[in-house]
Amino acid sequence: MSDKENIIVIRKGTAKDVSIILELIKALADYEKAPHEVIADEKLLTQNLFGDKPYAETLIADYDGEPAGFALFFHNFSTWVGKPGIYLEDLFVKPHLRGKGIGKKLLIQIAKIAVERDCGRFEWAVLDWNEPSIQFYKNLGAKPMDEWTIFRMTEQQIKVLADIVD
């Protein structure tokens, strides 16, 4: 091992990072055993993350100048708290770079953004089999919301519901 200190830089993602973001999304899908579910492409990501109406924000983690991970998040709103919150859609660090503090630095940066924006909550979901991540989040002070069940509709299911005549 060299005497050189490894440098972690957390930076805001830009349109120039779309290929990196897509590469990391695909790596996350591989990790979650669902590579076939990724339909995003560079055009969709550019439009929806960096277009006229961005729907989410990204942070890129560079480790010694190379992309090591990312976080993708957006605002939600808590009616009970009466404030916006941040929902973390994805957090991913390349497997060979885990344990170096990269994920923690990404979460700290999002927490700082949440404080700056006066957010009342910071939330995310984790797969129930992903025990290393569950322990990581608990060690940072996050609490699982065991009494809640996440529901989802696909694009096709949304269209079916929208076409119901009421």
Which residues in 16-120 belong to E strands, given as ranges? 57-63, 66-78, 83-93
Place of tokens 């942070």: 59
* Contact in structure between 68 and 61 (CB atoms under 8 Å): yes
* Both tokens assigned to 70: 């990312």
Single-letter code of the amino acid located at 120? G
Reply yes or no on whether 137 is catalytic.
yes
* Contact in structure between 124 and 89 (CB atoms under 8 Å): yes
Which residues in the chain belong to E strands, given as ranges? 8-12, 57-63, 66-78, 83-93, 121-124
Secondary structure class of 46 (helix, strand, coil): helix
Single-letter code of the amino acid located at 30? D
Cα–Cα nearest to 87, from 76, 78, 95: 76
Active site residues: 137
